[in-house]
Amino acid sequence: MTETVEEFAERARDWLADNMPPLTGNTQPALDRAEDSTWRRARELQRRLYDGGFAGICFPREYGGLGLDYAYQAAFNKVAEPYEMPLALNIPSLTICSATLLDAGSEEQKRTRIAAALRGDEVLCQLLSEPGGGSDLAGVTTRADRSGDKWILNGAKTWSSSAFAADFGLCLVRTNWDVPKHEGLTMFLVPLRSPGLTLRRIRQVNGSAEFCEEFFDDVELSDEHVVGEVGGGWAVASRQLFHERRAVAKGSEYANCGASEERRDGAFDLVALVHATGQSDDRWARRLAGRALAHRIVEKALGESVFHGVSTGVMPPASGSITRLYYALCENLNLDAAVALAGPGAVVGAANQDLLAIGQKYLSRQTVCIGGGTTEIARNIIAERVLDFPREYAADRGVPFKDVQRGGTRR
């Protein structure tokens, strides 16, 4: 492609004006990921981008993208800010799952699943966490056993984001119990309408039912559903987690208009809040808002620095955990400041829905410290894989998984 970044941006600007819905006040509509209508709208908008030639800007052309570098995506992000975008598909369908398939999937999986996701025809999700697994992803006990030319999947997954709206899920399972836990895993791309798969919604304290739990009862899969190598699931999961941490911290080149997503993530306009609550002359209120805004500026600069450091090989891929950790710190700082500025209105503000929304958001404050791997895990990764500190002791290291005690008993 001989089109310069500036020419590409100008063409995108003209196309967006003719084809995408303009926003009111440059503010993305609130995304309720628990509603089917959100996903129908996202698929529709994604199809518009694809038909217009602006979907998957950094994905290879042979898999439905444009095959361009990040400078083109960044330019598109900027000119797309005044328009509604299919942001719901960013995480996990495009920035995590499609990016993982690009790294580890078969040629057939790339040509079919990535292309379908870029068209908006299919949505991909993650099936990783388990009811008794905690943060030890390598300790999964959902299993796939070989039976003839099939794999028989049994077990359960939980806290799967938006799985009810997805068509396929990247599912990490155990296929060998006679080797240490990291060596006996395999990644499968599971059709979520498979016979024997039961999906249930999880209702949270804030009323949302975005997350799901899945139960597998003799679900049959074939070799074509294996992502990567049998027994090589941890390598695939590691790439998946790498993409997840980058996506959570808004550092992925595979996102649809990532710049606009910053307007959607619950970061309240603290300056407007100071004025709206009559605290413009309050030095304490101004300092509280200013501190949070300063951290936002640092977060953006840090994200760009780590992105370029990893992409050029100056920094190890694990450095993505730095931006993931700082993102969570900034989100909590922003929300804590918003609650403090809103005062009692955030709790009993029925007369002011904007203030009450702050209190409702606070109910799920810890999600940014959990999603994409906990902040505690991020600190361990930074220490061990970026700063090269000694690894902490693990009693199950090198032990066949069947001999590892779980809940006081062995398998």
Interval 1-41: pLDDT, tens:
689 999 999 999 999 999 999 987 656 666 788 999 999 99
| pTM for the model | 0.86
Average pLDDT score over residue span 96-119: 97
DSSP character at residue 183: G
The single-letter code of the amino acid at 387 is: L
The count of domains in the chain is: 3
* Closest alpha carbon to 328 in 347, 308, 302: 302
At 87 the three-state DSSP class reads helix
Is 405 within a domain? no
Residue 321 has pLDDT above 60, yes or no: yes
Domain assignment of residue 223, yes or no? yes
Name the helix (H) or strand (E) containing 341.
Answer: helix 320-342
Backbone torsions φ then ψ of 191, nearest 5 degrees:
-65, 125
CATH number of 271's domain: 1.20.140
| Whether residue 147 is found in the same domain as residue 181 | yes
| Predicted confidence band of residue 267 (pLDDT cuts 50, 70, 90) | low
- For residue 191, the SS3 value is strand
Decide: 212 and 131 in contact? Cβ < 8 Å: no
pLDDT on residue 25: 64
Does residue 152 sit within a domain? yes
The sign of the dihedral angle between the CA atoms of 256, 258, 259, 262 is positive
pLDDT of residue 26: 56
One domain, residues 142 and 68: no
Rounded mean pLDDT, 250-277: 70
| Per-residue pLDDT at 67 | 96
Paired residues of 22 in beta bridges: 83
313 and 376 share one domain:
yes
Examine the pLDDT at 353 and tell me if it is beyond 90.
Answer: no
Residues 6+ apart with CB under 8 A from 105: 113, 114, 189, 227, 228
Question: Which structural domain range is residue 104 located in?
Answer: 5-89+99-123
Strand partners, 151: 146, 221
Question: Which residues have a Cβ under 8 Å from the Cβ of 224 and sit 6 or more positions away?
Answer: 106, 108
Closest CA to 187 of 250, 150, 140, 253: 140
Both 378 and 283 in one domain: the answer is yes
Q: Are residues 201 and 132 located together in one domain of the fold?
A: yes
Please give the distance of CA 255 from its chain centroid, rounded to a whole number: 10
In a domain, 203, yes or no: yes
Residue 18 lies in a domain: yes
Give the model's pLDDT for residue 410: 53
| Tokens encoding 328 | 């969570």
DSSP of 26-94, one letter per residue? T-PPP--TTSHHHHHHHHHHHHHHHHHT-SSTTS-GGGTS----HHHHHHHHHHHTTB---GGGIIIII
The structure tokens listed for 302 are 């840090």
Q: 107 and 134 share a domain?
A: no
pLDDT at 265 over 70: no
Distances (CA, A) of 255 to 4, 187, 399: 21, 23, 39
How much is the pLDDT for 27? 61
Same domain, 103 and 170: no
Q: Which CATH number belongs to the domain containing residue 34 in this structure? A: 1.10.540.10
Residue 150 belongs to a domain = yes
Residue 261 has pLDDT above 50, yes or no: no
pLDDT of residue 118: 97
141/107 same-domain check: no
Dist CA 252 CA 166 (whole Å)? 21
pLDDT score at 65: 96
Given a cut of 90, whether residue 257 has pLDDT beyond it is: no
Does 73 share its domain with 150? Answer: no
For residue 191, the domain's CATH number is: 2.40.110.10
Is residue 264 scored above 60 in pLDDT?
no
Is 349 inside any structural domain? Answer: yes
* Phi, psi of 261, rounded to the nearest 5 degrees: -65, -25
The C-alpha angle with vertex 330 and arms to 324 and 336, in degrees rounded to 5, equals 135
Decide: 86 and 258 in contact? Cβ < 8 Å.
Answer: no
Q: With bands split at pLDDT 50, 70 and 90, how would you rate the model's confidence at 368? A: confident
Query: Percentage of the chain with pLDDT > 90?
Result: 67
Among the listed residues 210, 214, 220, the one whose alpha carbon sits nearest the alpha carbon of residue 198: 214
* Judgement on whether residues 63 and 40 belong to the same structural domain of the protein: yes
Shared domain for 192 and 84, answered yes or no, is no
Is the residue at 399 inside a domain? no
113 with 201, same domain: the answer is: no
Would you call 205 helix, strand, or coil by DSSP?
coil
Q: What is the distance between the alpha carbons of residues 191 and 214, in angstroms, rounded to a whole number?
A: 12
